[in-house]
Amino acid sequence: MKKQFFLIILMLLLAGAAGAANGKLSQNLRTLEPVKTTIPPILDGSLDDEVWKKAAMVDDVWITYNPVNGNELPQRTRAYLAYDDENIYIAFHCLDSNPDQIKTSLTKRDGIFEDDWVGLSLDTVGGKKYGYEMFVNPSGAQGDIFRTGEKEDSSTDWVWYSAGKVVADGYIVEIRQPLKNIRFASGKDIRMGVVFWRRISRLGMSGSWPELVPGKGIAGSQVEIRIAELPRPLVLEALPSVTYSSGWNRTSPSSWSGADQTRDLGIGVKYGLTSSIVAEATLNPDFSQVESDSLQVTVNQRYPIFYSEKRPFFMEAGNLFDLGGIGDGMANMSVPVHTRLIVDPQWGLRLTGEHGKGSFALMTAADRSPGNPWDDGGENPDLGRKATFWIGRGKLGLGNDNFIGMLYSGREFGAEYNRSLAADFSMRFLKNHQVMGNYIQSFSNRSAAGDEFKGGALTAEYTFSNDKTFLGAMVENVDPGFQMDTAYYQRSGISTFKFYLQRQFAPDSKKIPWLFGVAPSFWAAYIRDKVSGLDDKELMFELNTNFVLKGSAGGSIYLAQESWAGQTFKRTLGQMYINLQPFKWFNLHSCYSFGDAIYYDPVDPFLGNRTQLHLNCTLQPSKNVNFFAEHSISRFRRLDSGEHVYSQGIWRGRLTYQFNKNLFVRALAQYDTFKKMVLGDFLASFTYIPGTVIYLGYGSLNESRAWSDNRWQRDVTGESYFQTRQSFFFKVSYRYQF
């Protein structure tokens, strides 16, 4: 308790201390009125088109938001806006006093964020509820994120066009956003909102215009765009796809099975009922997963591993179903709608849109997985039956980015069901304060015999933030009978209080020019297990620093009392990390943790010493070539006897050659030392626009196996590695827009 008291007092002193003050910068904020053009600009990374000479321009101070708030971004940036009846046009001139230090690459979509980049968040309906965020590096490669409130989803891809070029005084980027590919309110006197931002990779600095004001969020910081009139575009598209795969299993050390072939034809259709409401339908959708899930350390994990969504239909605007007070890392629930729980969809329908101050998202899908044959050869009593998911979300904007909303999610499978109804809200007040929360009530029936039960989950969160301080507090209560089949969450039957405090210090840049910021933080949590009556308690003190060469380093001390299987254990852990980019072609990350950990045996748990090391590096010798290497290892020993319990290491290497923005080839290898498994993938990919793609892939699984009694012994490794599975994959799809 003395240690805990010392940490609390120390953090309170740090939070109250006065940091070095910077002179307050000001920006000339104003409504932007883009010029209408009759001759569209050519996207070539040049500003010699006539439209850019007349376009609305921002030539002002840009203010940093990362790694510290409130400083002037060192390099000047100009942004331009124009439009016509079919497109919005954006351009940037990013001045740079050292253009040879600009970091750029040719890479697939969303692979640019280690480079220099420039971009914007575009609130197309002016309601401050969501934004289309577009990023472009100096080579013209793209990244995009769909934002709802302050929650960002990088899995969403939509169609837009860009070009970039490094020039003598920096680099230039041009963007064309077709209106038919985004939702907006057509008609006269159109109001939108925008924030522009820029990242300077070698400095590790990001800045924006207008300034991202702590406590207001992106939506509350944006400036208004005013356009006289925009007509409603025709939104009608079809997305047919063809997928072929063939796999072979090794049946003995010297023989293979016949080919297990799959041929799928799918079709998707999208139609815009208005410029802001879109209906979508898909039959036998292309949900093929091109990228394999990365191997992770899976031994001795208390909670299930979370795998992100990678299937095209579900990735589009998936965060529309998020709830206030969930998804920021503090809550027990990560996402209320985790679509990877819809394992093998047969069809899907979706309707999303905006109307006035309201927004909505409706989705339903049929999942064949509960009725699929069992892998172990047993007879599935539900063979051929499907589960149906029904999900609906509505939000009402209350000004700024405040809202109230409701969510329904349900899974129906014969007489069995799981249905959940939620209400949520988010409110900002007194400039720097925000409260948000939700209540979810679930109703379940797990058997035809009528095994019915229900439960509720309540979450409430408060945050305070300004340019130096962030404070967050959260309470939640989850009933033992609560279940939500669409959600990813860790536990039921708990009551929780969590508290987080961070203070940021900006040293005098004249005295310590290499150090940008120092941020100590404090974390405390209390979790009451309502079933066992046992408590979990957590305290953590952390220190993070940011410095030159895109560097960051820090460490933490973690004190915990954790309960498992009816026993209570006291734990002390330490962690250290460093990130560094010493050259623009080399990026390094390292993290090391050590200390007490529980072996989560449900019958006989015990305390041990665990060390974990994670290393990765990225080499980019040219714009076209990227090599990523990663190693993670976890070791565990009993604390009482020193006995070695387990060691699991993951080795991963990925080599990519990008011919241009559309075409790349990639080779990937992963090795799990605990499971004695080697996974290899080769992929050739051509993407013209999202949806118009060609993939050609080959996969190989090699495992250490024992052959005995004329069969493979399950869960027994041998001295030899065998290629136990190989597969071939081909996919082509075409997005036809009318």
Each residue's pLDDT tens digit, 10-22: 444 444 443 434 4
**Banded pLDDT at 709 (limits 50, 70, 90):** confident
pLDDT given at position 220: 87
Q: Is the pLDDT of residue 480 over 80?
A: yes
pLDDT given at position 17: 41
Range in 117-121, 128-132, 165-169, 461-465 the model is least confident about: 128-132
Place of tokens 């208004």: 224
Measured CA distances, 381 to 232, 371, 376, 389, 646 (Å): 51, 8, 14, 21, 38
pLDDT given at position 5: 44
131 or 420, higher pLDDT: 420
Pairing of strands 35-36, 77-83: parallel
Beta-strand runs (E) in 660-720: 663-672, 677-689, 692-704, 707-708, 711-712
Mean pLDDT calculated for residue range 655-682? 93
- Dihedral of the CA atoms 637, 638, 644, 648 (nearest 10)? -40
Mean pLDDT calculated for residue range 306-311? 70
Range in 23-37, 46-60, 525-539, 581-595 the model is least confident about: 23-37
**Banded pLDDT at 493 (limits 50, 70, 90):** very high
Mean pLDDT calculated for residue range 356-381? 88
Phi, psi (deg, nearest 5) at residue 498 = -135, 145
**Banded pLDDT at 293 (limits 50, 70, 90):** low
Burial class (CB in 10 A: 0-12, 13-18, 19+), 85: exposed
Calpha distance 275→488 (Å, rounded)? 33
Each residue's pLDDT tens digit, 519-574: 999 999 999 999 989 999 999 999 999 999 999 999 999 999 999 988 999 999 99
Calpha distance 199→119 (Å, rounded)? 9
pLDDT given at position 356: 82
Per domain, the residue ranges of the chain are 31-230
* Mean of all residue pLDDT scores within the chain: 89
Place of tokens 């591993």: 305
Range in 43-47, 189-193, 315-319, 516-520 the model is least confident about: 315-319
Q: What percent of the chain has pLDDT over 70?
A: 92
Range in 89-93, 375-379, 697-701, 722-726 the model is least confident about: 375-379
Q: Is the pLDDT of residue 23 over 80?
A: no
Q: What percent of the chain has pLDDT over 90?
A: 67
pLDDT given at position 556: 97
Q: Is the pLDDT of residue 237 over 80?
A: yes
* Planar angle of CA 454, 459, 464, nearest 5 degrees: 175
pLDDT given at position 481: 92
Q: Is the pLDDT of residue 75 over 70?
A: yes
What CATH architecture applies to the domain 31-230?
A: Sandwich (2.60)
Calpha distance 384→283 (Å, rounded)? 17
Using alpha carbons, select from 335, 394, 395, 343 the residue that is nearest to residue 369: 343
Mean pLDDT calculated for residue range 684-712? 89
pLDDT given at position 612: 96
pLDDT given at position 18: 38
pLDDT given at position 12: 47
CA atoms within 13 A on the CB side of 440: 36
- Do residues 198 and 117 lie in contact, with contact meaning Cβ atoms separated by under 8 Å? yes
Beta bridge partners of 227: 190
- Do residues 195 and 210 lie in contact, with contact meaning Cβ atoms separated by under 8 Å? yes
